[in-house]
Each structure stands twice: as structure tokens, then as C-alpha cells.
Structure 1
Amino acid sequence: MTNRAVHIILLHGLGANGDDLAPIGRILAESVGWSNGDFVIHAPDAPVAPVTINNGYLMPSWFDIYGLDRDAPVDMPGVEASVERIAALIAPQVGDDPYVLAGFSQGGVIALRAACAAKRTPMAVLLLSTWLPAADQFVLPQDRKAMPIFIGHGEQDDVVPVASAARMGHVLNAAGATCVETHFYTMAHQICPEEMQDMAQFLADAVRQPK
């Protein structure tokens, strides 16, 4: 274990808030074996904005969603604005300490792109029940090729189709990613105990990787 605290940055899903995932971060850290002084939890709230797919209803959202099918337009300006916001948060709040980026559903979209946009490479990226919109515009920087990436998805997910996980893995591998793990679980659009165990093991392995 590093002698510096690991910062765990958790990005929630559509309509939720930071408090939704903060307990997950603590359970995850404790499962790895980290004590209170070993980790810091960051769970920022997405801005409140109208969401097209929900009839323009105002809710916490990292970007607008126009539709759920693969051919629906993507709000790339909204995605990029949230990515810039999270990347800018890392420098002052994390400093030179190691950090993990994790995101659930809509938050996972931002977590992956923020991991690529941040000045420093995260220790690991956890992508939970999420997808990769505008995959043809995704670029994995050369210095992020070996970045450990965990993909977890429920086989009964009725919000984000389970096929999204496999597609995302294929895109990452084609982009040159060398450390991608994809796990499927008997669950819906959620996080289950088995996934928590797998994520804890994934983080423990990431800590042991030579730097």
C-alpha cells in the first residue's frame, strides 16, 4: 500500500446525487483493506439540468440524453463540459496522490473520458452498468494504454443493455487498452455484493502493479 491516501472519485447516475455512491466507496476501500487514513472519498453532484428523454424534467445529470437506442444523437458538448469539470477537480483535491475514478451508468460515461483527459493517469477506472456513447470519437491516449479498467454489468439490466459492456470492452481493446477486465452478474441496473468483491480484488491488484 502506498504511504499516501488513495482518492476515490465516484460519479453517480442520472437523477441521483453524490450521496448515492459515497457509501459504496467506503465499503470498497475497507474491502481492499484500507483504513480511514488510507483513502479519501469524493462524490461530486452533477448539475441539475433538463433531460430530453425524461420530457425535459429537471434532474441531476452529467449530460443530456436524447434517446436510448444506439443511433440516438449524443450530447457531446454536455459530456465534454462534465469531463472538464471532473478533470479540473482532480488537481486541487487530489494533488499528487493516487486516485481511482469510478462511475455508475451515466457517471461511468464521464469517468472513462475524465480518466483520459486528466493530467495524471488514475490508479484504476471502475465502469459500472454504463456505456460508451460516440465510440467513434473515443481516443485512448498513449500514456493510458496500461490503465487498469474494470467493466461490470448486470445481465438483466433493463436500463443500459448488457451488450453495451461488451461493445465498450471491444472499443477499448481496439484502442490499445491492455488491462481491461469485463465482468457480468446476475442482476439488474444495480451493484451487487459479487461485483463489490471483484472490484476490491481489482483495486488490490492495481495497488500491487509496478509503478
Structure 2
Amino acid sequence: MAFEHIRVIFPTAPARPYTPMHGSLSHVWFDRYKISRDCPEHLESIEEMCSNLGAVVQDEIRAGVPKHRMVIGGFSMGGAMALHLVCRYFQDVAGVFALSSFLNKDSVVYQAVENATQRPLPELLQCHGTADELVSHTWGEETSCLLKKAGMNTSFHSFPGLNHQLCRAEMELLHSWILKKLPSESAFSAGH
């Protein structure tokens, strides 16, 4: 996805022992006790990555990028990580997106949204394939509903027949959404 006026940073998840793979090393943002909404979050590994990714955000701020000109998001576990990072630590960015993602039922993110001092919170764009066999479409929908109930402005888009992957229509939707959140400086200064 290319933008003329936006720099895109793609951090890579580190290799770590991953419990759902019987402790084998996997490039994942955080550990999970199992791939399910019905278990506690592995907060120790989530906090570690919030700290590491927060440092990336702080580097951008030091480089002169204001938070209101940042969008943070990701695919699958990266989307869940983005929700933790934005809703708990960077509530004043322009937006957050989560593609084929979910949060655990008792996620600390829901409480963070309810207790947010920054209002309004960044808008959430969520997309999910209806045929996703790894992360249930229902889990994504339930995450969106719980975040909306907690006070977040969310939009959820289903993609019929799509498994745990991305498609062109989803990328086009994301691209136009990002351009609305981060218009070019000339459009921004013209009041659009």
C-alpha cells in the first residue's frame, strides 16, 4: 500500500516461544495461553511489546510526527497488539485498525476504553473474513461490539468467503480510510 505523503513503518514480531505451538519459537507479538477468547490474556508478553512498540511511536514523535498524524494497526495478532497500544497508551492518535483480529473476552483493553480520559478515542476500523478458520469472524464482531459498548467509535466490515488473509477490497477500504484520517498537508490546510 503506497501513499505519497505518509511514511509507513512495518515492525516485525520477534521470535518467542508460543504456547499454542507447544512452546516452539514463532514470530508473534505476544504469547497466548490458547487461541480463544475464553482465557486470560498473557499480560506479561503484551506489556513487553507495548513497551517496545511504544518506543517506535516515541521515535516518530521525536522525529517530528505529531500523534494526531499517526494511524496504528495490524493484521491478526498485530491488530490485537495495535488495540492494546492505542487504547491503553496512545489514545490521541488519528486512528487504529485491526484486520482479522480479536481481543479476549476479559481484555484489559475494554476497561481502558471505559476509563479513557482522552475523548473521543481514535476511530477503529475492523475488517474480517467470514470464512476465517483461525480467528472466528464472530470473535472479531464480538470484539467490535464490546469496544463500541465501552465507548469507542468502531466500524466493522465483513468480507464474504475470505479466510485468514487479506483481499484487494479490504486493502482499498483501508487505504481510503487512512487517507481520510491522514489527509495530505495541502488538503489539511485547505480545510478538507
Q: TM-score range by the shorter chain?
A: 0.7 to 0.9
Query: Residue 150 of structure 1 aligns with which residue?
Result: 125
RMSD: 2.2
After superposition, the C-alpha distances for 1:82-101 in whole angstroms (9 at most, x for unaligned) are: 11211122111343422111
Asked whether 1:78 is paired with 2:36, we answer no
Q: Which has the higher contact order (CA 8 A, sep 6+)?
A: 1
Query: Residue 11 of structure 1 aligns with which residue?
Result: none
Task: Give me the whole-angstrom Cα distance separating, in 1, the residues matched to 2:86 and 2:107.
Answer: 18
Query: Residue 182 of structure 1 aligns with which residue?
Result: 156
Code of the aligned partner of 1:100: V
After superposition, the C-alpha distances for 1:130-175 in whole angstroms (9 at most, x for unaligned) are: 0012535221123153412100000000000001121111111111
Asked whether 1:45 is paired with 2:12, we answer yes
Aligned identity (percent) is 24
Task: Give me the whole-angstrom Cα distance separating, in 2, the residues matched to 1:41 and 1:79.
Answer: 23
Query: Residue 168 of structure 1 aligns with which residue?
Result: 143
Task: Give me the whole-angstrom Cα distance separating, in 1, the residues matched to 2:138 and 2:148.
Answer: 16
Query: Residue 86 of structure 2 aligns with which residue?
Result: 115
Is the 1:112–1:127 contact (alpha carbons within 8 Å) kept by the matching residues of 2?
yes
Cα drift, residue 69 of structure 1: 2.9
Task: Give me the whole-angstrom Cα distance separating, in 1, the residues matched to 2:90 and 2:36.
Answer: 33
- In structure 2, stretches of 5+ residues that fail to align are none
Code of the aligned partner of 1:160: V
Moved over 4 A (4+): none
Cα drift, residue 112 of structure 1: 0.8
After superposition, the C-alpha distances for 1:110-137 in whole angstroms (9 at most, x for unaligned) are: 1011112345622111100000125352
TM-score under structure 1 length normalisation: 0.76
TM-score under structure 2 length normalisation: 0.83
Q: Secondary structure at the match of 1:68?
A: coil
Is the 1:144–1:177 contact (alpha carbons within 8 Å) kept by the matching residues of 2?
no
Within the candidate set 17, 21, 39, 1:54 is matched to 21
After superposition, the C-alpha distances for 1:6-51 in whole angstroms (9 at most, x for unaligned) are: xxxxxxxxxxxxxxxxxxxxx1xx3xxx31xx12121122221111
Task: Give me the whole-angstrom Cα distance separating, in 2, the residues matched to 1:207 and 1:66.
Answer: 36
Is the 1:102–1:126 contact (alpha carbons within 8 Å) kept by the matching residues of 2?
yes
Is the 1:102–1:125 contact (alpha carbons within 8 Å) kept by the matching residues of 2?
yes
Q: Secondary structure at the match of 2:72?
A: strand
Code of the aligned partner of 2:159: Y
Cα drift, residue 71 of structure 1: 2.2
Paired residues in the alignment total 177
Task: Give me the whole-angstrom Cα distance separating, in 2, the residues matched to 1:183 and 1:48.
Answer: 31
Is the 2:41–2:107 contact (alpha carbons within 8 Å) kept by the matching residues of 1?
no
Query: Residue 23 of structure 1 aligns with which residue?
Result: none
Q: Secondary structure at the match of 2:182?
A: helix
